[in-house]
Amino acid sequence: MSGLRALAASALLGLALWQGLVWVTGLPRFILPGPARVAETLWQSRALLAEHALVTMAEVLIGLGLGTVLGALSAIGLAASARARRLVGPLLVFSQAVPVFALAPLLTLWFGYGLGSKVAMALIIIFFPVTASFLDALMRPHRDWQGLARVMGGSPARILWHIRIPAALPGLATGLRLAAVYAPIGAVIGEWVGASRGLGYLMLLANGRAKTDLMFAALIVLAVFTVLLHAAVNRATRPLLARD
């Protein structure tokens, strides 16, 4: 309950600062609408916002699921093979050096303007945090446990499965919590480059028509969804963090 009160207090503070900025600057409504105007647009355009939000949510959740599975499997594979770490490790780092916006047009060209390119964009953004966090945890030495397992005749594969992976689950949980925040960014970037549905597309459409209040409303819906997704992932990964 204290967490909810803190969240409500932060929201009220943000609204007060927003309204204060509107009053101080005196900017016209089509440039900086006030909270009341955006709230009114949220209610009046609730059906439109819900329609586009469902598309973005589907892109984010599918990308998050695929990115989690592929990232976890990649981390396990890299942890099991030193040769794979030497060969693939630099490629993972290089993939993060390429600007995300540079990949979005290519993904749209390859996968089209539908769901596929947005899911791929979300997957690319969250793949590295999941892989890196889980791999880092897998590579931490557990000399006592592993030494005992070797004395008892445990093979490297059994040690990895029964000791290293369970001990590294808090690292996977950390990667998932980061991924929950990054996944919506990937989906929206994909929608900005090429889409006909989604909150990112709706924001571009509203901006082109000078409907700043609708753009703010779409942004708020996206932010609320991201916060709820992070909270859900945080709650779901608590058992994994308890292993630490």
What tens digit of pLDDT does each residue of 190-211 get? 888 877 788 988 998 888 888 8
Q: What homologous superfamily is domain 33-241 in, according to CATH?
A: MetI-like (1.10.3720.10)
Where does the pLDDT of residue 156 fall: very low under 50, low under 70, confident under 90, or very high at 90 and above? low
The region of weakest confidence among 19-23, 90-94, 139-143 is 139-143
How many angstroms separate the CA atoms of 224 and 65, rounded?
20
For residues 115 and 62, the answer to whether their CB atoms sit within 8 Å is: yes
Q: Quick one: tokens of 91?
A: 């490629």
Residue from 94, 22, 68, 97 nearest 169 by CA: 68
Q: Quick one: tokens of 37?
A: 């105007």
- Classified as helix, coil or strand, 242 is coil
Q: Quick one: tokens of 47?
A: 């059906």
- The yes-or-no verdict on residue 107 having pLDDT over 70 is yes
Mean predicted confidence (pLDDT) in 151-172: 71
Q: Quick one: tokens of 137?
A: 């945890």
- The identity of residue 76, as a single letter, is I
pTM of the predicted model, to two decimals?
0.83
What percent of the chain has pLDDT above 90? 14
For residues 151 and 225, the answer to whether their CB atoms sit within 8 Å is: no
How many angstroms separate the CA atoms of 15 and 168, rounded?
41
For residues 68 and 229, the answer to whether their CB atoms sit within 8 Å is: no
- CA neighbours closer than 13 Å in the CB half-sphere of residue 198: 27
Mean predicted confidence (pLDDT) in 89-97: 75
Q: What is the 3 state secondary structure string of 80-140?
A: HCHHHHHHHHHHHHHHHHCCHHHHHHHHHHHHCCCHHHHHHHHHHHHHHHHHHHHHHHHCC
Q: Which helix (H) or strand (E) is 192 found in, with range? A: helix 165-193
Contacting residues for 193 by C-beta, under 8 A, at least 6 apart = 101, 104, 105, 107, 108, 117
Where does the pLDDT of residue 218 fall: very low under 50, low under 70, confident under 90, or very high at 90 and above? very high
How many angstroms separate the CA atoms of 42 and 216, rounded?
9
For residues 137 and 179, the answer to whether their CB atoms sit within 8 Å is: no
- CA neighbours closer than 13 Å in the CB half-sphere of residue 189: 21
